[in-house]
Chains A and B, each alone.
Chain A
Amino acid sequence: MEISLGGQGASSHASHIDEEGKVRVGMLFYVVVDIMFALFLVSAYVFLRGVNVNNLWFPDGTQNIDLTQTTFLTGLMVASGLCFVLAHWAVRQGIGGLVKLGITLAAILWIVTLILNVQYMGHLPFTQSGGGFASMYVLFTAYHIYHLLLGLMFVIGITIRALQGRYTRERHMGITTIGYYWYWVVVFGIVGYLLPIILPGPMH
C-alpha cells in the first residue's frame, strides 16, 4: 500500500475524522440493533398468534386491555416526540428559547410516560402467566419501560445541556443523534399500542 505523509491524497477527504458523522453512524447502528430486537418481539407475537388459532392464545377468564389507558399513554409518548421535533427544528433555526422549552417539555412528558407506564404495568387486568398473549403483552410493556429507563440518561443529559445553552445552530449533533433514539422509542410505543388492536386475541 502506498502512502504519503502530509501530501494531498487522491481522496477528497476534507478532514481526517468526521467527528459528527461518527456519532451519527454509531447512534444509527445502535438504533438498528434495538430495532432488530423489537422486530423479533413483533415476529414472536405474530408467530404465536399464527400458530394458536383458538382459545390457547388468550385463555378464558382474562380481561382485555383497557384501550383508553393505552391510547392516553401512547398519546403522551407521541406528544413527547413532537416536542422533540419542535426543539430539533428550533435548534436548526437557531431559536434558543424554543429549544430549551421543547426539550424540557419533551423530557417532562417522557418521565411522566415512564411513571404512568410502570403504574399501568402494575395494574394490568392479567398477569404474565395468563397465556401466550398475556406473556407477549407484558414483555412488550416491559421492553417499552426498559427503553424509557435507558433513555432517562439521554433525557436528563440533553435537558441539562439544552438549559446550559450548549446546543447552537452549528453544533447540535447531540440533539440529532439522541433524536434517532427518541423517535424510535415513540415508534415502538405506537407499534406496541397498535399490535393488539390489529391482531387481537380472540374475544369471548
Chain B
Amino acid sequence: MSWTRKLVPSYFSGAVLAAIGFIVGSQYVWRVIGGANWDFNDPGLIGNFLEQGFLAGFVLMTFGWLIGIGAFKYPLSWMLGLKDPDHNEELRLAGKGDGIIRYFRFTTDHKVVGIQYLVVTMIMLAFGGLGAMLIRTELMFPGAWAFPKETYNTIVTMHGMLMILTVISFFVGPFGNFVIPIMIGARDMAFPRLNALSIAFLIIAMAVYAFIPFMGIGDPITTGAGVQTGWTVYGTLADQTGIGVDALAMAVILAGISSQMGAVNLITTVIAMRAPGMSYTRMPMTVWGSIGASILAALGTASLTVDLVMIISDRVFRTSFFFAATAGDYAGSGYVGGGSAWLTQNLFWFFGHPEVYLLVLPAFGFVMDMASVFSRKPLFGYKTAILGLMGVVVLSFLVWMHHEFVSGFLPELRGFYMASTELISVPTGLIFLVLLGTMWRGRIWMTVTMGFVFAFTWSFLIGGITGIYLSDVPADVQLHGGMFVTAHFHYTIVGGALMGFLGAVYYWFPKMTGRMMDEKIGWISFWGIQIGFNGTFLAMFYVGLQGMPRRVADYSPLFAGGNLVASISAFVLGASVILYFYNVIYSWKAGPIAEANPWGAKTLEWTTPTPVPLENFGEIPVVTSGPYNYAEPATPSGVPARGVEAGPAIG
C-alpha cells in the first residue's frame, strides 16, 4: 500500500512508538521493578519509583520517537558496514517528489527542516506568550486573585524556560536552516541527517515539556503539581519541589542536545560548504551572527546539562551535589551532604549568561543585514561589525558571576566581573555604530522589516543602558532579583532578539513561502507590539525601582498602579502578536505572490528561484564580491548575472 509507505516512517509512526515507549518504560519501573508494594515515600528505597518511572518513560519515549521516524536507519546501516546510500537515495530522503508529507517526516532537505522549525518555534512562542498573559493576569491586581500560588510559580517557570528554548531555536531553526545554506551557496547543510535529527529532538523535548503541568497531581509529598523553581532551576529548590522538575530537566537536556547538534552543523556548514569565492569577508552578517551564536551554544550548553543531570540524580538517585549541610541536617532523608548550593548557581549562570548573548547575536546579524538592504547602503564597517560580534562572543564567557554579586560566593571577584561586564558594552556599542552608520544618508525604505530594525535599535538601547546599572555592584545589590531585572532582560531579549526575529520572518517570508506578508496588517501589529511592549516593561522598570521582587504571585498594594499598567499593556502586546500570527497564516495562504527579489537585496538567497528547488542551485555560483554591493547592476530575477568582473573588496 502506498499510504503505509508514506506514513511509515513519519512523525505519525514516531508518535505512536513514542507513546508505546513511554508506557512501557514507566509501567516497567512502576509495576515490574516496583512490584505490588511500590510506595511514594519509602525511605528504605534509593530514589523514588514514581520519578524513576517517569524518567524511564521519557528515555524510552525518546528512543521510540527516533526509531519511529527512522532516525536510526542510517547509523545502523553504517554500523553494519552496508552499502553507503547513493545520491538518489539521499534525494529521496530529502523529500524528492513528495508532497506535503515531507513536512511530517524525517526529511533532510534543509528548507523542509527550516519550515518545520519555523512552525515548531511559532507554536512554542504562542504557548510561551500564553504563559506571559497568564502571569500578567495574576499580577494585574494584588492578592494572587487568578490562580493559586503554586500554579502561578509553575506558569512562571514554564513561561521562562519555554521562551528561552524558543529563542535559542530561532537561530539554528528557521533562519539558520533555511537561509544560511543558500546564503553561502551550499546545496544543503553539512550533515543533513543531523539537521533532521535536531528538529526531531526539539519536538520530543517539547513533548516531554508538555508533561510538566500534569506531573505530581495527587503526589502526597509535594503539595502542588508542576515545578516551583523559576527558569533558573536552582538545585536546592529543584531537589525539593514537585516532580514536574524531572520533566523540565529532561526536556531541557533534550532541547540542549538539539541546539548543540544544530550549532555543530551550522559551524561546519559555514566552514566547509561555502561556494567558491565566498570568503569569510564576503559572508553576510546573518551568517556571522549565527556563527557567534553557534559557538556559544556549542560551548555553553553543556554547563546547563551538567546542572540538570545533577538535579535529576539528586532527586532520583539521592546523590548530594547541592546539599551542603552536615550529616545531621538531613538525617533520615537519605542525603549525606558534601555538595554545595553555590555549585548550581555557577553551573547555571555559566550557561545562562552566554545564553542571553546566544539569543541576541543572530538578531544582531539579521538587523544589520536588513538595515543595509533597506538603506541601499553597504554595511558601515563590515570588519567593525565582525569585531563587535566576536567581541561579544569572547567576553560573554567572562561575565557570568555578575549574577552572583549578592550570593556571597567569592565577593573578592566582584570587581573583576563588574569590569568585564561593563567592557562588553564596547563591542555592543560597535553594533550600534554600524547600524546608525548604515542608515545614515541611505535611501530608507520603511517596510515593516525596517520598522522592526528601528524597534530593535530603540529597545536594545534601553536594555543595554539598564544593563550598565545592573553591572555596577552597589547599584546591582539594590536592583538584583527585582522587577527591574525582569524588565531589563525582556528589553534585551524581546526587544532585541524577538524584534529581530519578527522582522526577519517578514523579510524572508517571500523566500520561504513565495508570498508577501500583508503590509497593512503588518503595520498595525507592529505598532501594537511596540506600544504593548514598551508599556509593559517601562511599567515594570517602575515597579522594579519601587522595590517589587520578581516571581511573586502576590504583592503589596504599593505596586498596584504599575502592575495594572503593565498587565493592560501586556494584553495589547499579546493581541498584537496574535495579529502578527494571523498575518503569517493568512499571507501564507492568500498573500500576494512575491517576485524573486522583492527587497532588492544582493545576497545569494535571492538569486534562487522561489520556491527554492531541492539542492538550491542548478549550478553552484561563483562569488566575486561582497554581499552589500548595491552599486552593481541589478540581477534579473532568478537568473544570476554571468561573468561579472570582481567588485571592490569590502573594507
Tell me, yes or no, whether A and B come into direct contact in the complex with CB atoms closer than 8 A.
yes
Instruction: Indicate if the CB atoms of A13 and B276 lie closer than 8 Å.
Output: yes
Interface residue from A30, A44, A138 paired with B264 (Cβ < 8 Å): A30
Give complex CA distance A129, B279 in Å: 54
* CA–CA, A153 and B81, complex, Å: 11
Interface residue total, chain A, C-beta cutoff 8 A: 56
Q: A2-B629, A32-B298, A139-B310 are in contact. Are A56 and B326 (CB under 8 A)?
A: yes
Residues of B near A119 (CB, < 8 A) are none
In angstroms, Cα B264 to Cα A132, docked, is 33
Does B86 lie at the interface of the complex (its beta carbon under 8 Å from any beta carbon of A)?
no
Complex CA gap A17/B181 in Å reads 12
Q: Which of A74-82, A84-92, A156-164 contacts B (4 or more CB under 8 A)?
A: A156-164
Determine whether the beta carbon of B321 is less than 8 Å from that of A132: yes
- Is there an interface contact between A2 and B272, defined as CB atoms closer than 8 Å? no
Closest to B294 in A: A29
Are B644 and A4 interface neighbours, CB within 8 A? yes
Q: Does B99 sit at the interface, judged by CB under 8 A?
A: no
Question: Does B350 lie within 8 Å of A40, measured CB to CB?
Answer: yes
With A10-B646, A40-B302: A3-B641 Cβ-Cβ less than 8 Å: yes
Once the chains bind, are B624 and A4 in contact (CB under 8 Å)?
yes
Interface digits, A10-38 against B, CB 8 Å rule (1 contact, 0 not)? 11010011100110011001101100110
Complex contact A139–B268 (CB within 8 A): no
Q: Are B338 and A133 in contact, with the CB atoms below 8 A?
A: yes
Is A196 an interface position by the 8 A CB rule? no
Contacts of A9 in B (CB 8 A): 276-277, 622-624
**Once the chains bind, are A41 and B306 in contact (CB under 8 Å)?**
yes
Contacts of A41 in B (CB 8 A): 306
Contacts of B629 in A (CB 8 A): 1-2
The answer, yes or no, to whether A109 is at the interface (CB within 8 Å) is no
Most buried by A among B279, B317, B319, B607: B319
Task: Supply 13 further A-B pairs (C-beta < 8 A) apart from A10-B277, A33-B260, A156-B79.
Answer: A1-B627, A2-B625, A4-B624, A13-B276, A17-B187, A44-B347, A47-B346, A51-B342, A128-B318, A129-B46, A129-B319, A131-B338, A132-B338
Residues in B whose Cβ lies below 8 Å from that of A6: 619, 622, 642
Write out the residue numbers on chain A whose beta carbons fall within 8 Å of the beta carbon of B347: 40, 44
Measured in the bound complex, the distance between the Cα atoms of B338 and A42 in whole Å is: 16
Q: Is A181 an interface residue (CB 8 A)?
A: no
- Return A137 CB to nearest CB of chain B, in Å: 10
A127 within 8 A of B: yes
Decide if B79 touches A1 in the complex (CB within 8 Å). no
Known: A7-B642, A26-B190. Contact between A160 and B79, CB under 8 A? yes
Which of B264, B305, B310, B646 contacts A26 (CB under 8 A)?
A: B264
B279 and A135 contact, CB distance less than 8 A: no
Contacts of B306 in A (CB 8 A): 37, 40-41, 44
**Do A3 and B302 form a contact, CB below 8 Å, given A18-B272, A129-B317?**
no
Q: Is the CB of B282 within 8 A of A4?
A: no
Q: Which residues of B contact A58 (CB under 8 A)?
A: 338
B632 touches A2 (CB 8 A): yes
Interface 0/1 of B242-285, CB less than 8 Å to A: 00000000000000000010011101100111111111001000
Note all chain A residues with C-beta closer than 8 A to B602: 1
B residues near A157, Cβ cutoff 8 Å: 78-81
A residues 100-154 near B (Cβ < 8 Å) are 127-136, 138-139, 153
Report whether B624 and A2 are in contact in the complex, using a CB–CB cutoff of 8 Å. yes
Among all A-B residue pairs, the 3 with the closest Cβ atoms = A132-B338, A9-B277, A9-B622
Residues of B with C-beta under 8 A to A3: 185, 275, 277, 604, 607, 621-624, 640-641, 644
Instruction: Identify the interface centre among A4, A22, A166: most chain B CB within 10 Å of its CB.
Output: A4
A114 to chain B, nearest CB (A): 16
Near A by CB (< 8 A), chain B positions 578-610 give: 602-604, 607
Q: Is B119 an interface residue (CB 8 A)?
A: no
| A139→B624 contact, CB < 8 A | no
- B276 with A2: CB separation less than 8 A: no
Of listed B80, B185, B299, B336, residue having the most chain A CB within 10 A: B336
CB of A26 within 8 A of CB of B265, answer yes
What 0/1 readout, one digit per residue, does chain A (155-193) give for beta carbons within 8 Å of chain B? 011001100101000000000000000000000000000
Asked if A4 and B643 sit within 8 Å, CB to CB, the answer is yes
Give the shortest distance, in Å, between B36 (CB) and chain A (any CB): 26
What separation, in Å, do the CA atoms of A138 and B336 have in the docked complex? 15
CA distance A134 to B268 in the complex (A): 39
B237, CB-defined interface residue at 8 Å: no
A59 touches B338 (CB 8 A): yes
Given contacts A13-B277, A131-B338, A135-B313, is CB(A4)–CB(B268) below 8 Å?
no
26 contacts across the A-B interface (CB closer than 8 A): A1-B604, A1-B623, A2-B629, A2-B641, A2-B647, A3-B277, A3-B607, A4-B621, A6-B619, A9-B276, A10-B646, A16-B276, A17-B273, A22-B191, A26-B191, A33-B302, A37-B305, A44-B347, A47-B343, A52-B338, A52-B340, A134-B338, A139-B319, A153-B79, A156-B80, A160-B79
